Amino acid sequence: MSFIKKITRRSFIKRAIITIVSLELIYVFVNLLKKGNDSQETSKLFDAGEIDTFENGKVYPFNTERFYLSRLKDGGFLAISTKCTHLGCTVQFKNSDNKFLCPCHASAFNKHGEVLAPPATRALDLFPITISNDKVMVDTANPVKRNKHNRSQITYA
Ligand code: FES
């Protein structure tokens, strides 16, 4: 009798383990499929406004879209993510200091999003920009990671 009980208990544990492992595999598989689809996410173009509404050398917040539009002195544009590359807090642009500051651990970034002060080690992400019919269109669905700023990241009209 105790032999039958033992087998039943073993069998139950075996089935429970197989069920748990199967569920975990399904979960991992579904997440992989979801991740694959996310990486191919279509663009979500946000109309930031007419080119001429942005003065050279100024930074404009688009809080609901989580980016700042930086119009550089030479007229180029950068759409800079508000997400700090340290641990993800929201950075603020301080006009008085002419830089982005993170309230969490005091990282600082310049107008190009380059790191001025740690603990962040990587430049702020960028959102791709296209100029269409004199409007600045920002793809807010596809942030681009970068280590440093370089000129090729700037969009010109
Ligand atoms: S999250 Fe920005 S400095 Fe830590």
Sheet with strand 77-81: strands edge to edge: 58-62, 67-71, 77-81, 126-127
Identify which of 122, 51, 42, 117 has the alpha carbon closest to the alpha carbon of residue 80: 122
Q: According to the model, what pLDDT value does residue 22 have?
A: 72
pLDDT, residue 26, reads 67
Q: Is 104 inside a domain boundary?
A: yes
pLDDT for residue 84: 98
Nearest Cα neighbor of 86 from 64, 65, 55, 107 is 107
Q: Which atom of ligand 1 is nearest to the CA of 118?
A: 3
Q: Is the CB of 89 under 6 A from ligand 1?
A: yes
Does some domain include residue 64?
Answer: yes
Question: Are residues 28 and 105 located together in one domain of the fold?
Answer: no
Query: Dihedral of CA 68/69/71/77: which sign?
Result: positive
The SS3 assignment for 151 reads: helix
Is residue 50 located within the same domain as residue 107? yes
The pLDDT of residue 3 is 54
Q: So what's the pLDDT on residue 38?
A: 55
- What total number of domains does the chain contain? 2
Does one domain contain both 64 and 115?
Answer: yes
Q: How far is it, in rounded angstroms, from Cα 120 to Cα 109?
A: 9
Q: Is pLDDT at 9 greater than 90 in this prediction?
A: no
State the residue range of the domain holding 123: 45-153
Nearest CA to ligand 1 atom 3: 105
- Residues 51-76 have a mean pLDDT of 96
**40-60 pLDDT per residue, tens:** 568 789 999 999 999 999 999
Atom of ligand 1 nearest to the CA of 89: 1
pLDDT single digits (tens) 101-117 = 999 999 999 999 999 99
Peptide bond before residue 119 is cis, with ω within 30 degrees of 0? yes
CB atoms within 10 A of CB 58: 14
Judged against a pLDDT cut of 90, whether residue 125 lies above it is answered with yes
Does ligand 1 lie within 6 Å of residue 116's CB atom?
no
**CATH number of the domain residue 96 falls in:** 2.102.10.10
Q: Give the confidence band of 153 by pLDDT, cuts at 50, 70, 90.
A: very high
CA-107 nearest atom, ligand 1: 3
Q: Check if 76 has its Cβ closer than 6 Å to any atom of ligand 1.
A: no
Instruction: Report the percent of the chain where pLDDT is more than 70.
Output: 83
| 30 Cβ inside 6 Å of ligand 1 | no
Q: What is the pLDDT of residue 24?
A: 75
C-beta separation of 25 from 33 below 8 A: no
Q: What is the pLDDT of residue 103?
A: 97
Same domain, 35 and 65: no
- The mean per-residue pLDDT over the stretch 21-31 comes to 67
Domain shared by 16 and 86, yes or no: no
